[in-house]
Structure 1
Amino acid sequence: MYEETCTYDNGLTEFAEVRNVWRATPPSVAAVDPAVLAQQAVDKMLLRGPEIGIVPKPGGMGLVGMPVYMWTERGPETYGPNVASASAGGVTVTATAKVQRIAWQMGDGKTVTCTTPGTPYKPSYGKRPSPDCGHRYTRPSTAGSYHVVATSTWAIDWQATTGQSGRLTQTRQSTVDIRVGELQAVGS
């Protein structure tokens, strides 16, 4: 004797019918692919691009040669860890996503790759460069501003209750525009 559950959806309400069924042989059960469940777990996550923190601040003006600090806020949606699970057919997969690196395209042809969330700038740092995620512009933003693109690479490790495991990778982007000017001293 086996218990059979069938679900129906008429577009407004979902119904489930449960009944006992007599069979001489067990019903065939399609094998559950843990990789498919892993993708379903990832689909439940909200993974975003970096929540950009940058100095000079958008709307302000930076200077050629001065340090630029870049960072992202740390949270499950912007840096991780972000955890979700999916189950089917007696198999459960748990996926954990964390940002592996952030590639900052600085708008001047240079790319800075950071493996940390970066350090938020504080005025007490003065002219010191960022200890883990920084840049210096060598010329002013002649087209009005530099368009900065920050791309997070999320590493998503998953583990199934069957012992199988794997890794998925996804990327997310955020952008910001900053202005950089040049200061020249005029002597008398």
Structure 2
Amino acid sequence: MGTYDPPGCWYEPLWTPEEYEKEFKKRWNVGHFSGAGEAYAGETARYVDGKPYKDFNKDKSGEGMFWGAVYDWDRLEGDDYLACGEADFWVDNGDEPPVENAIDAETLAQLAYNEIKVPDTEVTLRPEDITKVNLPTWAWLDKADFHEVSVTATLDVGGWNLSSTTTAKPVSLKLEAGTEDATLFPASGECAINDDGSIGAPYAKGKADEDPPCGITYLRASGGEAYELQATATWEITWESTTGESGTLPDGTFGTTQDVTVQEIQAVNR
């Protein structure tokens, strides 16, 4: 959502000793390749021969897990994968992982952020689709269509159990007319959220001569085509975890465009 970039890789508990033995055998059940013998010897020394793990740490079954790198391949760019280049390692239950980028409450919150899908920001317009030069166009979003969204990410494996819930709360809507020949309401184009969670106000009969709290007056016709009205919502992002930790993440933005045709008002003199 928006320009925020959640982590492309992290470490988390993945295998019990017995599971890691199977993982090890699966990894090395491959054909010969250059340097395979030396690499296999190094891995065997590390996980089997006691340098530092003896027989995949089976004597510590139930007391911890092997941790490894997890990659979000859709987000990795360039050499981002190097941020998680540590060999798989053991962590006793309750101990802090001895690496950066280890899964924790905030990382879970970031991963939850990555899964948030906010409601569409297509605003309601009056007049709708086609308006007139110098006629105020009212814009609004109802609370029912523009509401908080939450996603929870959970780690529940071995001796690790924690969850983080990330919540996106809409706080404002910015309008861009698609042309410089327009007047925005308010002048900044930033429509604040109302106390009831809505933005702007619906047009009602009798308000034709009023300035809308959120809207646009076009000053020039669109010439038989359409202006692209862009509505971009800003979402405030917070998170809290079952550990008692909480915090904020960068605001998110999400926008849509709508075609608005603007016509001249024709007058006939007799």
Q: Secondary structure at the match of 1:183?
A: coil
CA distance in 1, matches of 2:226, 2:62: 71
Structure 1 residue 51 corresponds to structure 2 residue 122 = yes
Among the aligned pairs, what percent are the same residue?
Answer: 26
Structure 1 residue 33 corresponds to structure 2 residue 104 = yes
Superposed CA offset, 1:15-71 (max 9, x none): xxxxxx64399431535332221122223322244032112212xx31111111112
The count of corresponding residues between Structure 1 and Structure 2 is: 170
CA distance in 1, matches of 2:238, 2:249: 4
Higher strand share: 1
Q: Which amino acid aligns with 1:56?
A: P
Structure 1 alignment gaps of length 5 or more: 9-20
Q: Which amino acid aligns with 1:148?
A: L
Q: CA deviation at 1:184?
A: 4.3
Q: Which amino acid aligns with 1:171?
A: T
Q: CA deviation at 1:139?
A: 1.7
TM-score between the two structures when normalised by the length of structure 1: 0.75
Q: CA deviation at 1:140?
A: 1.5
**Partner in structure 2 of residue 138 of structure 1:** 219
The correspondence for 1:113, drawn from 190, 199, 203, is: 190
| 1:71–1:118 CA contact under 8 A, matched in 2 | yes
Q: CA deviation at 1:108?
A: 1.6
Larger radius of gyration: 2
**Partner in structure 2 of residue 185 of structure 1:** 267
- Where in structure 2 are the equivalents of 1:167-182 lying within 5 Å? 167-182=249-264
Structure 2 alignment gaps of length 5 or more: 1-15, 23-57, 65-90, 194-198
Which protein, 1 or 2, shows the higher relative CO under an 8 Å CA cutoff with sep ≥ 6?
Answer: 1
| 1:68–1:134 CA contact under 8 A, matched in 2 | yes
Instruction: Identify if the C-alpha distance between structure 1 residues 25 and 108 changes in structure 2 by more than 3 Å, giving closer, same or farther.
Output: closer
Root mean square deviation, CA, Å: 3.0
**Partner in structure 2 of residue 86 of structure 1:** 153
| 1:49–1:150 CA contact under 8 A, matched in 2 | no
| 2:224–2:261 CA contact under 8 A, matched in 1 | no
**Partner in structure 2 of residue 14 of structure 1:** none
CA distance in 2, matches of 1:183, 1:24: 81
Higher helix share: 2
The correspondence for 1:157, drawn from 238, 260, 267, is: 238
